[in-house]
Homo-oligomer: A and B are copies of this chain.
Amino acid sequence: MIEDAFITFPKGFIATGIHVGLKKTNAPDFACIASETPCHVVGVYTTNLVKGHSLKRSMDLINSRTDFRAVLINSGNANACIGPQGVEDADLIASKFANYFGCSGSEVLTFSTGVIGQRMPTEIILSSLPQVVSSLGNTAESSHDAMHAIMTTDTVEKEAAAQIECHAGKVRIAAIAKGSGMIHPNMATMISVITTDVDMDKDLLSSLLKKISRTTYNRVSVDGDTSVCDSVIIMANGQSGVRIEENSEAFELFESALYDICEDLSRKIAADGEGATKLIEVNVTGAPTSQDAYLCVLSVCRSPLVKTAIYGEDANCGRIITALGYSGAQINPEMIDIFLGSLPVYKDGCALPFDEEVAKDILKQKEIGIEIHLNAGDFNDRMWTCDFSHDYVTINGSYRS
């Protein structure tokens, strides 16, 4: 991982973010990340049966062709649930952009995030496309503009980058992400674009992204809702000139760097959950199956009672064991040990006496760890969430206005 991360850090990428008029403020609301040469794109997507039109179009394209040149992302409108017009709008925007940029419309992917069920103001976007193309650049500033343009209720910038040095040379990876509310496995309300100049087989890159997402992007829950738009994609243009094959030392280095970036962004997404004041990391060990481990972290991370107690800095740990009890996991409550940070609070399913002041000190931190030992097997899991605050209610009580 390197500091001063920006999405055009890998060779051959350019980006921009401008205000076209989809957000009511003057903030950037339309991003473009492009490669100067054709690049592979692989992705993981929301599992919601309802899928936005921009996303559906991109999924179809990624499944049917290999090389792409650009990704367009708008915030402020999800382009979802409006019927055939939604795909037509996305197609039109992509092909007009392609005209200005100098490629074909099918080399241009589209993603949207924002309000569902309202048609995008397509004319506004179309008339801004020349400015989008002319403002593309490879500076940190144009990268940050792109990052800001995909933010919705996000309050914190989410970007990361890494460089690995292998025998054949240097390879760079960079990423931006948005995601605040409505984030829940699998692949919920987040959009993340990862750029890299690696030269790697597309299928290998795809399976690597799926593997890493399982324990990073797909282990973030903000409110249990799963959105209709969201996706993580990698754009890989090979411009480093470094070819990486499976089962090589370089592949291990690349996997490790990509994991670090995805983990970093996932934690940032959880910590920046709507109204969040604290990042919560829940670890479960000793589950009889991986599914049981997953159900346990999921249930604790999703419990409004656990999340409001942590917001209130109230060590009401009975709510943690309660959430485990209704998780659907095969557990024996009388075997469960629970730690709040390093403080033992449950042993063999029984509450332990603990110093309330010590618990309070732990809960005052910005990052709270909950450790759960099921003592019933060898499977572990981990998930991040955030606390549930008054501001969550304020933000989501009037999202459209």
* A interface residue numbers (CB < 8 A to B): 47-51, 78, 80-83, 115-118, 181-182, 184, 223-228, 302-305, 308-309, 311-319, 321-326, 331, 333, 346, 348-351, 388-390, 392-394, 396-401
Q: Flag if A397 contacts B308 (CB, 8 Å).
A: yes
Q: Flag if A48 contacts B81 (CB, 8 Å).
A: no
Residue of B nearest to A389 (CB): B393
Q: Flag if B318 contacts A80 (CB, 8 Å).
A: yes
CB distance from A67 to the nearest CB of B (A): 31
Chain B residues with CB under 8 Å of A321's CB are 50, 81, 116-117, 228
Residue of B nearest to A119 (CB): B351
Q: Flag if A400 contacts B82 (CB, 8 Å).
A: no
Assembly CA distance A348 to B225 (angstroms): 22
The one of B305, B317, B351 in contact with A223, judged by C-beta atoms closer than 8 angstroms, is B305
Copies in the complex: 2
Assembly CA distance A200 to B271 (angstroms): 57
In the complex, besides A182-B305, A225-B305, A225-B323, 5 extra interface pairs with C-beta distance below 8 angstroms are A81-B346, A83-B349, A228-B322, A316-B400, A390-B390
CB distance from A376 to the nearest CB of B (A): 12
CB distance from A394 to the nearest CB of B (A): 7
CB distance from A218 to the nearest CB of B (A): 13
Chain B residues with CB under 8 Å of A115's CB are 316, 318
Chain B residues with CB under 8 Å of A351's CB are 81-82, 116-118
Known A81-B318, A351-B82: A392·B304 in contact at CB below 8 Å: yes
Residue of B nearest to A394 (CB): B390
Chain B residues with CB under 8 Å of A316's CB are 115-116, 399-400
Q: Flag if A350 contacts B397 (CB, 8 Å).
A: no
Chain B residues with CB under 8 Å of A116's CB are 316, 318-319, 321-322, 351
Assembly CA distance A78 to B316 (angstroms): 13
Q: Flag if A224 contacts B225 (CB, 8 Å).
A: no
CB distance from A357 to the nearest CB of B (A): 14
Chain B residues with CB under 8 Å of A312's CB are 396-399
Known A224-B224, A326-B49: A308·B389 in contact at CB below 8 Å: no
Q: Flag if A227 contacts B322 (CB, 8 Å).
A: yes
Assembly CA distance A80 to B182 (angstroms): 33
Chain B residues with CB under 8 Å of A50's CB are 321-322, 324-325, 333, 349
